Amino acid sequence: MFSAKEKEDLLKKIHDSVVEFEEEVTADLCRQAVDSGIDAHDAIIGGLAEGMVTVGAMYERNEYFVPELLLCSDALYAGLDILRPHVRAGTEQVRGKIMIGVVEGDIHDIGKSLVKTMFEAAGWKVFDLGKDVKTDRFVSGVTQHDPDVIALSALMTTSMLAMPKIIEAVKAEKPGVIVMVGGAPLNHDIARRYGADSYADDAVSAVHEAARLFSNSVPD
């Protein structure tokens, strides 16, 4: 068994390996954590997720851009692949459930994938419907996954026109579900007019915004 200090040091190394996008190192360190008896959930939260918090802050400061985010994301998933099978039932704390997809007519999913990563790192259960997702699929996804938040992405001005119909349909299926939109042609004003609850202009702010809306929606 590791001492508390040794555990702290290892989690810090996992954090650093994510930030430095060292995919193999991250996987090795996570194996070491499992072998040493460190709780897998603690390693996810204290190592991998903390690493992505730092990555998000670096992105917001324009120190990291999409290439770095993609590689940090690779390191995160390499670590999660090792740790997740060892998470003990009942220890995983899920912040909320989010369903995400790129709307019909649009195949640009790099932004959506980064949003997915940041939500997973922040402890959300993510249901990714993929790209070019039709309204009916979003509606059936609501029935299937019962999400707290739905995030819709579009890169093209024409494809964003699919959003009002989707928002109306998912809210009819689950009144009270929080719908967020994002993507290059959107802004707060368009989001409001389309009936969305919020808009986020990048993956990091999307997580903050979803957490804010979700905590406001949950009765004390």
Partner 1 sequence: MNKSARIKALLTGNRVDRVPHFPFILGFCAKNLGLPIATIYNDAEKSFDAQMKTFEQYGVDWGPIYGYASYGTWEFGGEVEMPSGNYQQAPAHKMFPVKSESDIDSITLPDVKTAGCLPIAMAFSKLQQSHGTPISVVLGGNFTIAGNICAVEKLCRWMLKSPESAHKIIRLATEHIIEIVRYWADTFGAENVIPQFWEPLAANLIISPRQFKQFVFPYLVETGERILAMGVRHILHHICADHNANLPYWAEVPMGDPGLCSFGEEIDIDKAIEFLGEKAVVIGNLDPSLLLTGQPEQITERCREIIEKGKKAPRGFMFSSGCEVSPETPGYHVYLMKKAIEEFGVYP
Which one among 34, 45, 71, 87 touches partner 1, defined by CB under 8 A? 71
Stretch that binds partner 1, among 5-13, 90-98, 102-110, 117-125 (CB under 8 A): 102-110
By the rule CB under 8 A, 45 interacts with partner 1: no
Smallest gap, in angstroms, from Cβ of residue 194 to partner 1?
9
Question: Count of residues binding partner 1 (CB under 8 A)?
Answer: 29
Q: How far is the CB of 71 from partner 1 (least distance, A)?
A: 6
What residues are paired with 133 via a beta bridge?
103
Q: Return the exposure string of 132-147: e unless at least 16 CB atoms fall within 10 Å of the residue's CB, then b.
A: bbebebbbebbeebeb
Query: By CB under 8 A, which span of 48-56, 63-71, 77-85, 143-151 interacts with partner 1?
Result: 63-71
- CB neighbours of 187 closer than 8 A, spacing ≥ 6? 199, 201
CB of 156 to partner 1, least distance (A): 6
Q: Per rule CB under 8 A, is residue 110 in the interface with partner 1?
A: yes
Q: Which of residues 165-184 bind partner 1 (CB under 8 A)?
A: 184
Q: Does 190 bind partner 1 (CB under 8 A)?
A: yes
Judged by CB under 8 A, does residue 148 bind partner 1? no
**Residue 186 binds partner 1, judged by CB under 8 A:** yes
Please identify, using beta-carbon distances, which residue of 65 and 172 lies nearer to partner 1. 65
Asked if 78 touches partner 1 (CB under 8 A), the answer is: no
Tell me which residues touch partner 1 (CB under 8 A). Answer: 21, 62, 65-68, 70-71, 74, 103-107, 110, 113, 156-162, 184-187, 190, 193
